[in-house]
Structure 1
Amino acid sequence: MTPDQKIENVIIIGSGPAGLTSAIYTARANLSPLMIEGEESGGQLMTTTEVENFPGFEHGITGPDLIAVMRKQAERFGTRFITRNVTKVDFEQRPFKVWIGDKLHLAKTIIISTGAKAKYLGLPSEKQYANRGVSACATCDGAFFRNQEIGVVGGGDTAMEEAMFLTRFASKVILMHRRDSFRASKIMAERVMQNPKIEIMWNTEVTEVLGDGKSMTGARIKNTVNGEVKELPITGLFLAIGHKPNTELFHGMLDMDETGYLITQPNSTYTKIPGVFAAGDVQDHVYRQAITAAGTGCMAAIDAERWLEGQEA
């Protein structure tokens, strides 16, 4: 750290809807934010084809287009971008330290918006048909499967919620779980079992997603007890086996829950370190929508701005 090194008002780590919204707000507050957007900038929306539930776009918009519009808006107000990954952080004392390789950046405040990743099964065919039948978000993609037979993989509360939600659109939902009992809460499991549109396949795992090269046409499944293999003629497969927040950088520094989500103080984006804020899917394991991420990005920007004012008063 050199004596004349610039100290940023705010560094935003991550560039999905939470990070970009916090950039728009902090830039308009004259804080001249520096966003380190990462080499895979834009977050989960970059792998989403059609977004139909983001307010303001009556005909829908693709995920990458939505990110591009938000990024231009942040840039217009003076956000600066570095398209590299943060390699190390140190929040022990202020100014906070953020490294990109050997290059050190200093900041008075930090907004963490590094997001989360949906867990996938790890099949090559699953990647091939991502957004062409395979999805990890029922609220995002359910409406594209009206009157079709589709599958859901998982055994927790999320899987139950997704399966129930999908019965609004699909003619039939086949819920596949690799064990013979659910991890889900009793009430959720009972609701699913009582739903006439849901068929449960116990001791079942998906081994391959089948398709015609363009879209998914079925799934190859295997019974985990007797090894029997068969094909299911489903046109959609929803994975509800959890999400993993991108919080490896912050282990040992910030409070996290058992899955790794950052814990923020109630009704705020404050982490346990004053001046460090967290927004979006990195701290939200409940809603996980672009619009709620954007909302907490706005909160983080306002929290950071007010905190800075309090320091300078």
Structure 2
Amino acid sequence: MANDITPGGQLMTTIDVENFPGFLEGIWVIFTDSKRVVADSFIMATKVVGRKLNFEGSKKFWNRGISAYIVCDGDAPIFREKAFTVIGGGDSAMEEANFLTKSVEEAYGERVLGGLKVKNVVTREVSDLKANGVVFHYWT
């Protein structure tokens, strides 16, 4: 799980982990400053700072319909079973829009950056995503 100097490598930039091999012992032992904790599983919460867009109303509606934290906020009652738009580019925006299909009525990926590139998760090859316009619609 180490990649270059980033602890956790790509694990820190993904939403779903589908192929983690696990551990032979099947448990986690975590040491804090004051004690040893044994658990069947744990949640690794890393600090993430969402990039905010600067447009009229963006400050007023931040955390009132505009969010940068899809994993936490995407299933919130304010968004559940509603149409939803993800603004971004590349793998991260498409991954977020795909994640939202689990809880929202419709998810849209809106490309606002230059050329949209996506990675094939099997071959790791990067390619252009062909689409009609700049909106990608996911039906749930």
**TM score, norm. by length of structure 1:** 0.24
Tell me which protein shows more helix as a share of its residues. 1
Q: Which of 1 and 2 has greater Rg?
A: 1
**TM score, norm. by length of structure 2:** 0.50
